[in-house]
Amino acid sequence: MITSQFGKFPHGQNQSPWIFFAILYLSIVYLITDQPLELHRITKFFGTCFVCALIAESIGHNIASVFNAVSSVFIGSMLTCPIMLTAVQNFGNPSPLSLYRTILMYMSYIRYALEALIVALFGYGRPKLPCSKKDYCYFSPPKEIIRIMLGSEIFPNFWLDIFALFVILFISKGLLYYLLKQRVQPNKVFQIMHTIRKMIISHLNI
């Protein structure tokens, strides 16, 4: 029964179109920004973006499994803003963050994706970026980009960030299964919450 309900979710639909357009978009972005045509960089760039997209899709499914279509639009937007803001807290500010801000920053999956993308594009011994002799290019050395964007000249561990993204993806998929199961076979806690929700809605309608 749970499987049949899950089949009605967007996840059960053909995902070929969004995969095709994602590859098309990422290819255009990679080429017009003049990134190195190196296989390991391209693979890591595309892989990180796809894992990040799967996490975002899973979060959307979790929200849709709890709220109706109208509420999901607003709840999704409300969650997206803090997730993005906490991920980029120290961009352009090399001073160290406090402990609680660091914890909040690394609770965002976007932070791990950003670190992985920066390492994939500017790490692994990438030479200085092209710069005209007439101009002074402060960000020509890749280490300067890392220092400004991440607040450190030490490159993060790419594979550690990817591992963290897969852990978040696994947790979000597990939570989705649990929420769908509660929709079909709710336990007592969910039954009580559903009853309270109906009472609040009926009271507001009055």
Specify the pTM.
0.80
The C-alpha torsion from 29 through 31 and 35 to 37, rounded to 10°, is 130
Query: Of all helices (H) and strands (E), which one includes residue 139?
Result: none
**In 3D, which of 85, 79, 162 has the Cα closest to residue 117?**
162
- At residue 1, the pLDDT reads 43
Helix boundaries (H) for the chain:
2-7, 16-32, 39-66, 69-87, 99-105, 109-122, 142-150, 158-184, 188-205
* CB-based burial label for 148 (10 Å; 0-12, 13-18, 19+): middle
* Exposure on the CB side of residue 93, measured as CA atoms within 13 A: 7
Q: Could you read off the pLDDT tens digit of each residue along the chain, which spans 206 residues? A: 444 444 444 444 566 788 889 899 999 999 998 898 999 999 999 999 999 999 999 999 998 888 778 878 888 888 888 888 888 887 777 677 788 888 888 899 999 999 999 999 988 888 888 887 777 887 788 888 888 777 777 778 899 999 999 999 999 999 999 888 888 887 777 777 677 767 766 665 54
Residue spans of the domains in the chain: they are 17-204
- At residue 94, the pLDDT reads 67
CA distances from 151 to 8, 38, 95, 96, 126 (A): 45, 26, 7, 8, 19
**In 3D, which of 110, 51, 74 has the Cα closest to residue 66?**
74
Q: What is the DSSP letter of 8?
A: T
Rounded Cα distance between 177 and 3, Å, is: 10
Instruction: Kindly give, in sequence order, each residue whose CB lies less than 8 Å from that of residue 49, ignoring residues fewer than 6 positions away.
Output: 22, 26, 113, 117
Residue with tokens 């993060």: 156
What's at 56, amino acid-wise?
Answer: A
